[in-house]
Structure 1
Amino acid sequence: MLGELNTEQIESLLTELPVGRIGCHADGITYIVPINYAYDGINLYAHSAKGTKIDMMRKNPEVCFQADAITNLQNWESVICWGKFEEITDMLEREHAMQRIINKVMPLMQGADAQPSHGFTSAASNVGDEVELILYKIVLSKKTGRFEKD
């Protein structure tokens, strides 16, 4: 059976899932890439080193975001959101965003010394200074969801 997720189910999926895909478009090119994220009920928060995704979102801040939970091809849930990229520059907001991301990502890391690939330091709220860490939020304007269940 195919169906639509209700608002509560959409919010639950966005809150629970640790990885989604962000789609951005600039200069005639569409780019889709997976990201770790945290969701606060209003915005998605993420971090990145400078690169293609950040360059494109700075040129065109309108983005699409997709996350899904797939058990198998007959049992899945998927959320698609639209919103606007906003780089976080205020230091207090950067620390809060980073803490939110750390709280979401670190429990999923395996091994005592496991660290994400970039942007994290030993102090949880420290935004780091060895990598140009870009913290950003996606201010969501629309959310939809679908599911299939056998």
Structure 2
Amino acid sequence: MLGDLNKKELIDLLESQVIGRIGCHSDGETYVVPVNYVYKNNAVYAHSGNGKKIKMMRANPKVCFQVDQIKDTFRWKSAILWGDFVELTGEERQQAMQGIIHRIMPLTSRPSQETSHGIQTEEHTSLVVFRIDLTKATGKYETHNL
């Protein structure tokens, strides 16, 4: 059976996953890339080193975010959300970074040995921490009693 996710199911999906994909578009080019994230208060929080996606989101803050949970070919959930990129500074940046670290680190098998994209190194201060303020969302699912 195919169906639409309701608002609660969309939020449950966002809260249960840690990897999503950001789609950004700038200067005639579209770019989609996976990121670790945390969902809170109708926003997605993530971090990145300076690079292509940050440059593109700064140029055009209108972005798309996609997350899914796939059990197999006939049992899955997927959400696509739209929103605005906002670069964080100060206390909000620090709190977002702590939330990301607390969400990601328990999922590694060797937390003391993992740098998780630079979040435990001196480069921590050069990371761009941002949120996507969500403005629109849609979700689908498929289930089968096999």
Fold match by TM threshold 0.5 = yes
- Structure 2 CA distance for aligned equivalents of residues 57 and 116 of structure 1: 22
Question: 4+ residue runs of structure 1 moved beyond 4 angstroms?
Answer: none
When the two chains are superposed, the root-mean-square deviation of aligned CA atoms in Å is 1.4
2:107 corresponds to: 108
AA at the equivalent of 2:83: G
2:139 corresponds to: 145
What is the DSSP-based 3-state SS (H/G/I as helix, E as strand, rest coil) of the residue aligned with 1:128?
Answer: helix
TM-score relative to the length of structure 2: 0.93
2:124 corresponds to: 128
5 Å-filtered alignment, 1:1-150, equals 1-89=1-89, 91-111=90-110, 112-121=112-121, 128-129=124-125, 132-150=126-144
Contact 1:18 1:38 in 2 (8 A): yes
Unaligned runs of 5+ in 2: none
Q: CA deviation at 1:121?
A: 4.2
AA at the equivalent of 1:58: R
What is the DSSP-based 3-state SS (H/G/I as helix, E as strand, rest coil) of the residue aligned with 2:124?
Answer: coil
- Structure 1 CA distance for aligned equivalents of residues 124 and 56 of structure 2: 23
**Equivalent residues, number:** 143
Q: CA deviation at 1:16?
A: 1.0
Contact 2:101 2:119 in 1 (8 A): no
Larger fraction in helix: 2
Q: CA deviation at 1:71?
A: 0.5
Unaligned runs of 5+ in 1: none
Contact 1:11 1:41 in 2 (8 A): no
Q: CA deviation at 1:37?
A: 0.3
